[in-house]
Structure 1
């Protein structure tokens, strides 16, 4: 075979490879490219730098200061009503409440909040519940809305609240990296379609009609480009609080500035440390979810969002095919350092063009193009080197390069290393959440000093059990706590120690409640959730720092408490935790399950087991047999 034929064959194979990579990724495969693209997007965002957002949105944050004032979280409805009422008096364009008001609380508080919601333009948050990790479109579906994944149902605000406000779905799309890169604009169930929370807020604030076109949205006469499934790509202006943020405590202090509210979109949401509603972003490892939502609202109203629509995807397809062919052609043209330099120049030019487009509002996919270009170019270059007699040196250089790569490890605790976790660390860890039930209603009936003593005793019990099991309390959340197993370094028995901690907490809190006077103990209950998986460990705060963890693992562990309550149990354990801990049962314990549970605010199901204390027939043996 002549060299000309070999080059033509190489170019044809390269084109087929690029087309195949693009088609496979566009079809929902090669999910690892999403994680790579998220990392590259973070880099491009950091290269672009912090930007000043349009002064359209003000976040009123229910933060640690507010929780310390009230002593509990979530914020009592009466206090929330006071916050909303004060904001309405300052005449905002719209008040958006990024809190799920789906449960009843004290009747007076609910009634007060319902009356307050009727006093101004309001949008309330709801959530879409998806039945599985992957949704399909029903056969025979037609029209632009057929591309929307189908939710099982919507978790809507109580009718008493929804009657006085508009409702939007608040789910975001975190993807493989845990960082929200887009926000779906439309959601559907079998028989209805709902707008997203940001789209509902923007539509209300602009007071313009919404039109749904086959591949984009229209707000009045302005086009809103969207990605597949009508998702709005978002790019962050900067770290948290880049969008104007004021504490809700300023309402209670009487210091809320009218200029921060008047004629602006006001988004009320939680930024309580350790609450789980935080996401890693390019500028900040702990971005409150309310600021993610506010970023999407700003993009919609200002029209300054980043574009990733069907035209950009066509450009991605051409890049995935033509760039690898060009690089292989350059290497074939000059089998020397000149060809390598020319190919390197083209790659640098492509990277610069990609970054330039990103900084100017066009999001070209980098990961897919790299996946399409790097393997054929590397293979062709390897063949060229082998044919030139340099295969040994090439492989030796590759081997040395790989041998030098080693993931960083945490070696010492804060006492020995002041810079411990100065940068966020991703690792596996076990998370245990515990929360008292009935504490809020109890706090309305007993003396504050007695209430404080109960809370102190509860915290002391948690601290004792956590320390005994080698866990670290990352924060007390009013009448609950989050316990982390995996720092200063991940250990093989993290899951086992977390499981022991959860069981010991179950027994300890149960005995403690039983020891309280019946008038108090009879009002209290508790729930525990425990899960194992990847987290982002980092420091939180400036002058007073503490260590915390974020990510999907934290969210699942927190939601497992709800699963326990829904199934008349007090301790819900994920199957992942039990498998990692190699659990074979515990003395005097009953393990029941498995249950495929749906987690609120998260697509897919989680396999859950329930542990109960008692002398009844044990199912631990059956569990052990399944593990074996």
Structure 2
């Protein structure tokens, strides 16, 4: 088998293992960031699917702002709630579900009135599960299909006077990391009992069907109710608030409630009071009342139109998470060209379309896990393919030629057009930057020559990239330093500005590079930079091997500014001349201090010098190497 085929086979196996690992990690409760991504993608798919008309089975009787304004208080007095329930029961609904926690005592007369009213009709009351604040390991052996249920500390049940006349269901919903309820648990447990959810209790009563708990789903009579893990019912919203038929409880007090809105229907009484009820963000509405979320789950259970995310769907998710990235990598390996990229892109688009189609037709395939399984290996493989191609070879060849000549691309092009360029010295204005490592000489005496060479290569590469990006020309690498010219092949109005940018970029880049070195090396190294502008003499030196350089007072001052920086506890010294020529208005995230009038070695007179520091570390102390040098 050829080397390339072995490499492709290894890549495919690693890709499959990656996909399997991503799926298993997420399924076991890790990689929680994928839940937020999945919630966002689910909102998008729901919005693309659009608003749907819900089955007309449920009526919400809302205790809203109108009711509160009438009564002047919230929660609604028990006597008023009894009047609401009594009026609804007289219109003969299938079941009355009260999505209010009746756990506290109120006026004795009001409680007694409500208790008597609850005894007159088919009523389901809401309870709440109280969960521990910290996660705990749950022993699952020997508990059958209920072992994976989240365990509550206790249930907050209605007062016995009310619960004795009604059935009770737990009303908690499960919100994703986005805060939007994506599912409603159907079963809850404590250490000694299991309670049905409020929607499940209401649906079973409305359908008058027995409930059976199977290992991975529920049965209402002879109809299967597919559930997600932990017997949670995935929900998908029909539309914004009030998409499910909603009437105000005020219509009962006004005597205007329509019998048609109640008779033979499921009626859910709940709060939608601004600031008083529970509200959740959903794809269609930033503030949907909790009673409508619960009513959505009830509608799903009774109509059988819930979105499916059961064990079979999870198996499909696992297969897609493994096979899709393998297929994409295989296409890139089969066609190492634009055609392979186009084929892989087409497959991704087809998968996205299929995922959306499945969602809009009631099957919730995971999108976030598949993306996490597919994108990284495809990106890595595509990068390796590019690295292995001829473009990489050409890139390194061009870099090698550039380093060998120590000339900027613009100078190389100029020499190609004019081989006699600078054969005669030229006096002109220019700007220049000197940089030098501190402590390098002492370090070179203690470390291996090969390691020393690697450090120099990395340092030189960083200088070259920064100089080229700023349009400068490296006149020469001086061992552990460099001289960068701005003004060749011809002087430009922004030479000083580009030199200033280069000096600041070098400061930041070298500082980051040193920070990444091993501590034994990092603690011994520092650097200093000097930048100046003015007249120079540009010329070509040498016979068989010529190089372009600059001489003159400006060069000397720029070099000596490194000493001035080190003596003053700084890393970057800038001449006043350079700042004026660059029309300096202040660099982002930088602090400029000065001016300091000082003499430089080898020159009479004084130079006005400014020191630049990073704004994030304006008081950063010099390293040991900088203080020594």
TM-score category of the 2 structures, normalised to the smaller one: 0.5 to 0.7
Q: Is 1:273 the equivalent of 2:289?
A: no
CA contact (8 A) 1:124 1:167 kept: yes
TM-score (norm. length: structure 1): 0.62
- Give a deviation string over 1:264-311, Cα, whole Å, max 9, x none: 000000011123511011111111100000000000000010111000
Q: Is 1:219 the equivalent of 2:259?
A: no
2:181 alignment partner, SS class: coil
CA contact (8 A) 2:140 2:147 kept: no
| C-alpha deviation, 1:135, in angstroms | 4.4
Task: Give the Cα–Cα distance (whole angstroms) in 2 for the partners of residues 110 and 392 of structure 1.
Answer: 85
1:147 alignment partner, SS class: coil
Q: Is 1:115 the equivalent of 2:116?
A: yes
| C-alpha deviation, 1:385, in angstroms | 2.4
CA contact (8 A) 1:33 1:367 kept: yes
Alignment of 1:89-108 (within 5 A): 89-108=90-109
Query: Higher mean Cα deviation, 360-369 or 65-74?
Result: 65-74
Task: Give the Cα–Cα distance (whole angstroms) in 2 for the partners of residues 136 and 50 of structure 1.
Answer: 41
2:175 alignment partner, SS class: coil
- Give a deviation string over 1:405-432, Cα, whole Å, max 9, x none: xxxxxxxxxxxxxxxxxxxxxxxxxxxx
* Matched residue, 1:191: 192
Q: Is 1:388 the equivalent of 2:422?
A: no
Residues 391 and 198 (structure 1), Cα distance of their counterparts in 2 relative to 1, 3 Å cut: farther
- Give a deviation string over 1:196-225, Cα, whole Å, max 9, x none: 000000000000110000100000000000
Task: Give the Cα–Cα distance (whole angstroms) in 1 for the partners of residues 362 and 42 of structure 2.
Answer: 12
Gaps of 5+ in 1: 395-628
Residues 258 and 33 (structure 1), Cα distance of their counterparts in 2 relative to 1, 3 Å cut: same
| C-alpha deviation, 1:139, in angstroms | 5.2
Alignment of 1:242-253 (within 5 A): 242-253=243-254
Task: Give the Cα–Cα distance (whole angstroms) in 1 for the partners of residues 271 and 208 of structure 2.
Answer: 27
| C-alpha deviation, 1:3, in angstroms | 1.3
Alignment of 1:358-373 (within 5 A): 358-373=359-374
2:113 alignment partner, SS class: helix
CA contact (8 A) 2:281 2:287 kept: yes
Task: Give the Cα–Cα distance (whole angstroms) in 2 for the partners of residues 88 and 103 of structure 1.
Answer: 24
CA contact (8 A) 2:140 2:148 kept: no
Task: Give the Cα–Cα distance (whole angstroms) in 1 for the partners of residues 215 and 98 of structure 2.
Answer: 30
Task: Give the Cα–Cα distance (whole angstroms) in 1 for the partners of residues 298 and 268 of structure 2.
Answer: 10
* Matched residue, 2:58: 57
Task: Give the Cα–Cα distance (whole angstroms) in 1 for the partners of residues 277 and 253 of structure 2.
Answer: 25
Please identify the structure whose Cα radius of gyration is greater. 2
Residues 85 and 349 (structure 1), Cα distance of their counterparts in 2 relative to 1, 3 Å cut: same
* Matched residue, 1:176: 177
Task: Give the Cα–Cα distance (whole angstroms) in 2 for the partners of residues 135 and 219 of structure 1.
Answer: 32
Residues 175 and 114 (structure 1), Cα distance of their counterparts in 2 relative to 1, 3 Å cut: same
CA contact (8 A) 2:62 2:272 kept: yes
Alignment of 1:356-505 (within 5 A): 356-388=357-389
Alignment of 1:535-546 (within 5 A): none
Task: Give the Cα–Cα distance (whole angstroms) in 1 for the partners of residues 277 and 258 of structure 2.
Answer: 29
Alignment of 1:485-564 (within 5 A): none
CA contact (8 A) 1:136 1:150 kept: no
| C-alpha deviation, 1:389, in angstroms | 5.9
* Matched residue, 1:337: 338
* Matched residue, 2:262: 261
TM-score (norm. length: structure 2): 0.61
| C-alpha deviation, 1:69, in angstroms | 1.1
CA contact (8 A) 1:66 1:248 kept: yes
Task: Give the Cα–Cα distance (whole angstroms) in 1 for the partners of residues 264 and 105 of structure 2.
Answer: 32
CA contact (8 A) 1:328 1:376 kept: yes
Q: Is 1:163 the equivalent of 2:173?
A: no
Aligned residues: 394
Task: Give the Cα–Cα distance (whole angstroms) in 1 for the partners of residues 371 and 174 of structure 2.
Answer: 23
| C-alpha deviation, 1:106, in angstroms | 1.0
Residues 369 and 133 (structure 1), Cα distance of their counterparts in 2 relative to 1, 3 Å cut: farther
| C-alpha deviation, 1:391, in angstroms | 7.2
Q: Over aligned residues, Cα RMSD in angstroms?
A: 1.6
* Matched residue, 2:68: 67
Gaps of 5+ in 2: 396-629
| C-alpha deviation, 1:141, in angstroms | 3.4
CA contact (8 A) 1:382 1:391 kept: no
Task: Give the Cα–Cα distance (whole angstroms) in 1 for the partners of residues 140 and 97 of structure 2.
Answer: 36
Task: Give the Cα–Cα distance (whole angstroms) in 2 for the partners of residues 393 and 61 of structure 1.
Answer: 72
Task: Give the Cα–Cα distance (whole angstroms) in 2 for the partners of residues 391 and 174 of structure 1.
Answer: 49
